[in-house]
Amino acid sequence: MNEQNEYNNKKVLVLGLAKSGLSVARLLVKKGAKVIVNDQQPLETNLPAQELLAEGIDVITGHHPVDVLDDSFDFVVKNPGIPYSNSMLIKAKELGLPIYTEVEVATRMLKGSIAAITGSNGKTTTTTLVTEMLKEEFSNRKVAAVGNIGVPLSSLVETSEDSDIYVTELSSFQLMGIEQFHPKVACIVNIFSAHLDYHGTREEYVNAKLAITKNQTAEDYLIYNADHEELTNLVYQHSKAQLIPFSRMKEVEDGSYADESYLYYNKEVVMSKKLIKVPGEQNVENILAAIAIAKLYNVSNQSIENAVSKFYGVKHRTQYVTEKNERKFYNDSKATNIVATQTALRSFKDQSLVLIAGGLDRGNGFDELIPDLTNVKAMVTYGETKDKLMVSAQKAALPTIETVENLKEAVQKAYQISQPGDIILFSPACASWDQYKNFEIRGDEFIESVNELN
């Protein structure tokens, strides 16, 4: 890391813009690289591309010209969401060019310490919690939540200092594009099946997650969920780091765990469970993971307690929105897979729910949800998966099932069929890409639609 001149005179293709592409293109140019940017979106509607052109950076928009790539390039930096089946990436592989994601490029130059967090679910919450714990403890140091949480690491390279701590959320998409990335502290919150339309197989998805520890040594630390037998076996097989477990279900040695009343680290009480403000057992797990990371940075129990007691959840992840006419609304737009929605449903297992779900059709059914629909009195489905979700709701014998075309209609319908005391939960169990660019925009539309209700 921190190899400041590594990219001077390198020829680089940046494939895909958005935040990370825009940021890494600018960084590479500052470091003396010859950069060509290629983005599918036409120039007239592509503000990031227009900005780079105005800065004198070569940009090709509207299509992927494979003939641009040749063996004069040194490497490609791809947007994490672009599949490896993209024609430009196929050509790059044929030419033997390394294909990186922005994280790999940035961390070779970044000063400071990295705590890296991945997982199928809970990584954003864990990243946010760790950040808040560290900020409570280290008011004189820069602590930032970065990566998949929305802040590209490359945007912070120029201002980074050795004392900084970067709490880095990483998706499987990002981790597939690393080579030398080497965090001192890493955490795998959990591993379920997800993004198989992108990865092709569960094995490839799991291997992408395990890449977070592939460059770690015996001087580093890997925190893992000891309640997941598969994950426990995997980290023992693949990691050379010191393994730090966390568990919601049992006492563990040299790690964090919970009982009915308290959260512990290394068998010492850290805080009372009564101080936790966010619902659901999954958040106990997220907090335990965060405690383990914080303790490796010597964060005090008081700072941990302060952070947890002020934490009411992250936006779009079982986020409390408002109450209208004795109905409470929760935004869980980040539930882009079935497991995430199951987790949300279990958070409200003793309450009466109206569930809104739907989105991108990835080819799967939704019968896995059925055991968790016991306290769902009504379901409103929308989007590409509306009919598939309706079939599973019928199998669950839900009293009321409605299908609509879009989320705004779903919110209105859910409100109409609800009663005082109900919770209206938006937890889609699907990706957003049938109707939205990302789950954040989808979640914002849910909030806006709720606020428009009379």
For the annotated binding site for ATP, the residues are 119-125
Q: Please count the residues of the chain.
A: 454
> b or e along 418-433 (b: 16 or more beta carbons within 10 Å of the residue's beta carbon)?
beeebbbbbbbbbbbb
C-alpha–C-alpha distance, residues 196 and 402, integer Å: 28
**Contact yes or no for 393/381 (Cβ under 8 A):** yes
C-alpha–C-alpha distance, residues 147 and 124, integer Å: 10
Q: Which residues sit in the known binding site?
A: 119-125
Please count the other Cβ atoms lying within 10 Å of the Cβ belonging to residue 258: 23
Which helix H or strand E contains 444, and what residues bound it? helix 439-451
Please count the other Cβ atoms lying within 10 Å of the Cβ belonging to residue 329: 27
Q: What is the DSSP string of 273-293?
A: GGG--S-SHHHHHHHHHHHHH
Token pair listed for 181:
């990335």
Which helix H or strand E contains 51, and what residues bound it? helix 47-54
C-alpha–C-alpha distance, residues 30 and 204, integer Å: 35
Burial class (CB in 10 A: 0-12, 13-18, 19+), 103: buried
Burial class (CB in 10 A: 0-12, 13-18, 19+), 104: buried
C-alpha–C-alpha distance, residues 285 and 246, integer Å: 8
> Where does 171-267 show beta strands of DSSP type E?
185-188, 221-225, 242-247, 256-258, 262-265
* Sheet with 58-61, side-by-side order of all strands: 58-61, 34-39, 11-15, 75-78, 99-100
Conformation bin of residue 101: beta by default, left when phi > 0, alpha when psi is -120 to 50: beta
Amino acid symbol at 26: R
C-alpha–C-alpha distance, residues 398 and 436, integer Å: 28
